């Protein structure tokens, strides 16, 4: 019981800061997504393709979360967007306060879309609100069909599912239709995209949806 109490207090404290973040984002007409997945699903590659697609139409900033190194931030910086790396030093997820502390890096009134790329983990990030408008969960075809059933909390709390590495379907024992079926079983309201960062399949559809959601916030 004491463990549950401690966890509840930690989450309650996080939620207070997340709400502060959310109000700040709203004040600046900023659309914020929390990009989550297990390690190796292709989050950073999707983000790179997304930045390429949106470069001429939206002002994007990125918060990168990782256990160690700033490799992902280096990759994103090549696209000439504001980016800050949060290194958790072993922590398995980002927290609202870490995101809040990183926001001073940006001039928020000059940003339309903020992408928070979370630490690769399908468990802990599901429970931590960062103040985002929505969570976007990425699953790759190389991970198999059962990720939604194994990690239902993440899929229940997400608003969007990206099934990535769709070009590898002929070479892996995975069926995108089963992935989607399992995910919709957990959360029937999920918006779903299929993408390949190698062939660019699905990136324009994903990019246009992001653009439409961002413009809604600023309308």
Q: What is the pLDDT along the chain (219 residues), one digit of tens a residue?
A: 334 444 566 788 999 999 999 999 999 999 999 999 999 999 999 999 999 999 889 999 999 998 777 788 899 999 999 999 998 876 788 999 999 999 999 999 999 999 999 998 999 899 899 999 999 999 999 999 999 999 999 999 999 999 999 999 999 999 999 999 999 999 999 999 999 999 999 999 999 999 999 987 665
pLDDT at 41: 95
Give the domain extent around 188. Answer: 2-218
* Cα–Cα dist 173/121, whole Å: 22
CATH number at residue 154: 3.40.50.300
pLDDT at 3: 42
* Cα–Cα dist 168/166, whole Å: 5
Which residues, including other chains, have CB under 8 Å from residue 131's CB and lie 6 or more apart? 17, 18, 19, 20, 21, 22, 24, 25, 32, 96, 99, 100
Between helix 43-54 and helix 203-218 the angle, nearest 10°, is: 70
Total domains in the fold of the chain: 1
């Amino acid at each position: 019981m004491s463990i549950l109490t401690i966890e509840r207090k930690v989450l309650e404290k996080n939620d207070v800061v997340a709400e502060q973040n959310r109000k700040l984002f709203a004040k600046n007409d900023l659309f914020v997504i929390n990009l989550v997945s297990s390690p190796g699903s292709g989050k950073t590659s999707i983000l790179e393709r997304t930045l390429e697609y949106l470069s001429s139409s939206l002002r994007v900033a990125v918060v990168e979360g990782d256990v160690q190194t700033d490799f992902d931030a280096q990759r994103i910086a090549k696209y000439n967007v504001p980016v800050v790396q949060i290194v958790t030093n072993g922590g398995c997820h980002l927290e609202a306060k870490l995101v809040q502390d990183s926001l001073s890096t940006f001039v928020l009134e000059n940003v339309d879309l903020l992408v928070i790329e979370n630490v690769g983990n399908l468990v802990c990030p599901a429970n931590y609100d960062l103040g985002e408008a929505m969570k976007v969960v990425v699953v790759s075809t190389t991970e198999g069909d059962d990720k939604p059933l194994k990690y239902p909390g993440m899929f229940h709390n997400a608003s969007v599912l990206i099934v990535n590495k769709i070009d590898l379907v002929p070479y892996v024992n995975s069926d995108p239709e089963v992935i989607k079926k399992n995910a919709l079983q957990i959360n029937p309201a999920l918006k779903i995209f299929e993408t390949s960062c190698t062939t660019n399949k699905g990136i324009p559809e994903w990019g246009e949806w992001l653009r439409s959601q961002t413009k809604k916030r600023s309308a």
